[in-house]
Amino acid sequence: MRLSRSLVLYIAAGLGAIAVGLGLGIQTTYGTASASDYSAYQDMLEGDMKKLRFHSEPRDVSTQAYDTEGGGTATLADHQGRYVLLNFWATWCAPCRKEMPMLSELQQEFGGDDFEVLTLATGRNAPPAMKAFFEEIGVDNLPLHRDPKQRVAREMAVIGLPITVILNPEGQEIARMQGDAHWSSDSAKAMLRALLAEEAS
């Protein structure tokens, strides 16, 4: 009986190893790259951009609605079809003031059909104060969307600001950074170019 149980465990372990081995080369739900491919993007990061951590597997995002700049509502699913750099911020957040112009630069350089920077003010942020915040730092190409009741932020476990999340074209979270960073650095731009090139191939 003991021998039979050992044999079963041995066979199960072997089958598990085969499944893992096969999984390294299959297509995943987020496109042609497997989860293991994200290590290459991680290796591109230098300096404070190393705080950006790519996940081993894509993660679901919030389905809650947020308030759009135009007075309507939208969800993150409305942005599927492109890579999204989603930034959670607030008017009282000093690091947000520092990094927002860099996010604006990324939108200027990479924004289009394949990429966008999506800024979402979470918590109590009055629209006039948000507009003044952007005017003071010279940003005019990013949206003034709001998550006033923090529904999106809560579902995505946003603790502290800023937090920046990268979503793949399928609308899943593939990377996250806590805190601000030099988003207009050569390191950040090289990583984004690699992601966009993967999507185009």
The CATH number linked to 106 is 3.40.30.10
Which 8-state DSSP code applies to residue 77?
G
Measured CA to CA, the distance from residue 140 to residue 137 in angstroms comes to 9
Alpha-carbon distance 5 to 116, whole Å?
A: 55
16 belongs to a structural domain: no
Domain extent, residue 109, equals 31-200
User: Residues 52-111: pLDDT tens digits?
Assistant: 999 999 999 999 999 999 999 999 999 999 999 999 999 999 999 999 999 999 999 999
Reported as a single tens digit per residue, the pLDDT across 153-187 is 999 999 999 999 999 999 999 999 999 999 999 99
User: Is residue 4 one of the residues assigned to a domain?
Assistant: no
Is residue 22, in this structure, part of any structural domain at all?
Answer: no
Q: Note whether residue 46 is domain-resident.
A: yes
**In a 3-state reduction of DSSP, which class is residue 84?**
strand
What the block records as the tokens of 143 is: 């949206």
How many domains does the structure of the chain reveal?
1
**Which amino acid is located at 142 in the chain?**
L
- Establish if 86 belongs to a structural domain: yes
Domain assignment present for 14: no
Residue 85 lies in a domain: yes
Asked whether the CA dihedral 161, 186, 174, 16 is positive or negative, the reply is negative
Lookup: tokens for 33: 């790259």
Supply the angle between the helices 186-200 and 94-110 in degrees, to the nearest 10.
40
Residue 24 located in a structural domain? no
pLDDT of residue 192: 97
